[in-house]
Amino acid sequence: MKRALITGITGQDGSYLAELLLEKGYEVHGIVRRASTESFERIEHLAGKIHLHQADLLDQLSIIDVIKVSNPQEVYNLAAQSFVPTSWKQPMLTGQFTALGVTQVLEAVKLLGRDTIKFYQASSSEMFGKVQAVPQIETTPFYPRSPYGVAKVYGHWITVNYRESYNMFCTSGILFNHESERRGKEFVTRKVTDGVARIKLGLATELKLGNLDSKRDWGFAGDYVRAMWLMLQQDKPDDYVVATNKTHTVQRLVEVAFTAAGLDWQKHVKIDPSLVRPAEVDLLIGDPAKAKKHLGWEPEVSFEQLIERMVKADLARLQGQPVPDFKARGI
Ligand code: NAP
Ligand code: G4F
């Protein structure tokens, strides 16, 4: 039986990846941080099926210990401070988690399994920032626009560096925005779908947003974790863009979500200047041709399907009904 270790297993992607790996017959191990209240909501349904270990990206010995105990053939490094606005409020912490955290995991892999462990790094389209080419591909130069983006550039290049310096199997997935009903409520898709559901149910009357003009290439998280797994099934490590090759404005997202609930967005959405970022990433659109050619990967869920499903899930959740849940594969 193959064994995998996931850092960030309590996050959106970690929960979908754990499901996918279980489905494929893996023994799944995950790292969790100690907190005064447990935040295991996304993996509650996997209790008893996965192995959880207490550790922190910043505690090198704890990472070494978990790798020793779990003895994985695959390590997926998904843990990070992943919310862009927080990276301006806590730039040092973001650098420690999101940048140096990668080196901590790579060092532990080098020490314990440099010839046997395949390593995946969760790189991000935020690295393209003020984009230097449209659409963005693996060789498009990076121009990050936030401390988060800068930290991810470090994480990406240190992954490439360990691959080239130590001949380790280190792969980096440059993933564009991916969403689901398990997305944190601070991110714009989930903020909007949760807001729509609250307005529909009479629990709120307005939704405050920042910049409606920025464009993102949004896909479904379940599709994207499948790409992560495929990357580690290859004979050689590499870098891959994972995206849909379609882009939409935040305003379009708002229109689709309000329409899904039979509401007129213009009556409810208010612009709050405090939500506008000090530096914006105006346009992201990725070309996943390399992932398609080498991994046979393609997205299965469209933008409209994704947003409509998220609205439905938030409506059900707020009414105390069973939440229709995307599974890691298909909908
Ligand atoms: P997420 O929901 O915010 O999950 C982040 C995970 O990291 C959580 O499990 C969190 O644990 C864990 N974590 C944070 N700091 C940690 C630390 N010091 N030690 C151990 N664990 C720590 O993020 P996501 O959307 O699943 O994204 C997964 C990864 O992909 C992240 O690296 C993100 O930056 C990257 N990424 C995401 C997207 C996207 O659109 N979703 C796109 C490109 C790249 P707690 O539950 O304890 O907070
Ligand atoms: O949903 P967002 O916060 O995602 P963002 O900043 O693109 O970052 C996400 O995707 C990255 C991949 O490119 C990941 F690496 C990262 O970890 C994260 O998952 O914001 C999307 C857009 C931005 O242009 C923002 O200015 O929505 C705009 N927006 C407008 N009003 C808002 C809001 N974003 C948020 N979070 N909240 C608003 O009220």
Number of domains composing the chain: 2
Ligand 2 centre to CA of 6 (Å) is 24
Cis peptide bond upstream of 135, omega within 30: yes
Residues of the chain predicted below pLDDT 50: 329-331
- Percentage of the residues of the chain whose pLDDT score is greater than 70: 98
Quick one: 235 and 202 in the same domain? no
pLDDT in tens, 108-161: 999 999 999 999 999 999 999 999 999 999 999 999 999 999 999 999 999 999
The size of the chain, in residues, is: 331
Is the distance from the beta carbon of residue 186 to the nearest atom of ligand 2 less than 6 Å?
yes
Instruction: Examine the fold and report which residue of 227, 242, 257 is the final residue of a domain before the chain moves on.
Output: 242
Ligand 2 centre to CA of 2 (Å) is 35
**For residue 298, which phi and psi values (nearest 5 degrees)?**
-145, 145
Q: What is the pLDDT of residue 330?
A: 43
Quick one: 158 and 268 in the same domain? no
Specify the residue with its C-alpha closest to ligand 2, atom 24. Answer: 214
Quick one: 150 and 265 in the same domain? no
Contact residues for 271 (Cβ-Cβ < 8 A; gap 6+): 208, 209, 210, 212
Quick one: 120 and 204 in the same domain? no
Domain that residue 58 falls in = 3-178+218-242
Q: What is the pLDDT of residue 324?
A: 75
Measured from the Cα of 77, ligand 1's closest atom is: 32
Quick one: 228 and 253 in the same domain? no
Quick one: 168 and 100 in the same domain? yes
Quick one: 16 and 121 in the same domain? yes
Q: What is the pLDDT of residue 331?
A: 40
Q: What is the pLDDT of residue 38?
A: 80
Q: Are 5 and 31 in contact (CB under 8 A)?
A: yes
**CATH code where residue 264 lies:** 3.90.25.10
Domain contains 276? yes
**CATH code where residue 63 lies:** 3.40.50.720
Is the distance from the beta carbon of residue 295 to the nearest atom of ligand 1 less than 6 Å?
no
Domain contains 328? no
Quick one: 151 and 264 in the same domain? no
Domain contains 288? no
Is the distance from the beta carbon of residue 176 to the nearest atom of ligand 2 less than 6 Å?
yes
Quick one: 263 and 276 in the same domain? yes
Q: What is the pTM of this model?
A: 0.97
